[in-house]
Amino acid sequence: MKKFISPSLLAADFGNLKATCEMINNSEAHWLHIDVMDGTFVPNISFGFPVIEAAKKYCTKPLDVHLMIVHPEKYISRFAKAGADILTFHYETVENAFEIIEMIKSEGIKAGITINPDIPVSVLEPYVDKVDLVLIMTVFAGYGGQIFIEESYNRIAELKEIIKRKSANCLIEVDGGVSELNAKKLFDNGVNVLVAGSAVFKASNPIETIHNMLNK
Look up the pTM and report it.
Answer: 0.96
193-196 and 63-68 as β-strands: parallel, antiparallel, unpaired? unpaired
Q: Which residues are catalytic?
A: 35, 175
Burial of residue 165, with CB atoms counted within 10 A of its CB: 0-12 exposed, 13-18 middle, 19 or more buried: exposed
What local confidence, expressed as pLDDT, does residue 28 receive? 98
Per-residue confidence (pLDDT) for residue 63, from 0 to 100? 98
* CATH architecture classification, 4-215: Alpha-Beta Barrel (3.20)
- Coil, helix or strand at residue 50: helix
- At 19 the pLDDT is 96
φ, ψ (nearest 5 deg) of residue 67? -90, 110
Residue 93, CA distances (Å) to 55, 70, 89, 120 in order: 26, 5, 8, 15
**β partners of residue 33:** 8, 64
The strands making up 171-175's β-sheet, listed across from edge to edge, are 4-7, 193-196, 171-175, 133-137, 110-115, 86-90, 63-68, 32-37
The partner residues of 37 in beta bridges, in order of sequence, read: 68
Q: What is the pLDDT of residue 2?
A: 92
Asked if 199 contacts 180 with a C-beta cutoff of 8 angstroms, the reply is yes
Q: What is the pLDDT at residue 178?
A: 96
Q: Kindly compute the dihedral angle of the four CA atoms of residues 165, 127, 46, 17, in this order, to the nearest 10 degrees.
A: 70
> What DSSP state is assigned to residue 16?
G
Walk along the chain (216 residues) and give the pLDDT tens digit of each residue: 899 999 999 999 988 999 999 999 999 999 999 999 998 998 888 888 999 999 999 999 999 999 999 999 999 999 999 999 999 999 999 999 999 999 999 999 999 999 999 999 999 999 999 999 999 999 998 776 789 999 999 999 999 999 999 999 999 999 999 999 999 999 999 999 999 999 999 999 999 999 999 998
Q: Which amino acid is at 167?
A: S
Q: What residue segments make up the domains of the chain, in order of their start? A: 4-215
13 neighbors 20 (Cβ within 8 angstroms): yes
How far apart are alpha carbons 32 and 196 in whole angstroms?
A: 10
User: What secondary structure does DSSP assign to 80-133, as a single string?
Assistant: HHHT-SEEEEEGGG-S-HHHHHHHHHHTTSEEEEEE-TTS-GGGGTTTTTT-SE
Q: Phi-psi bin for 110: left (phi > 0), alpha (psi -120 to 50), beta?
A: beta
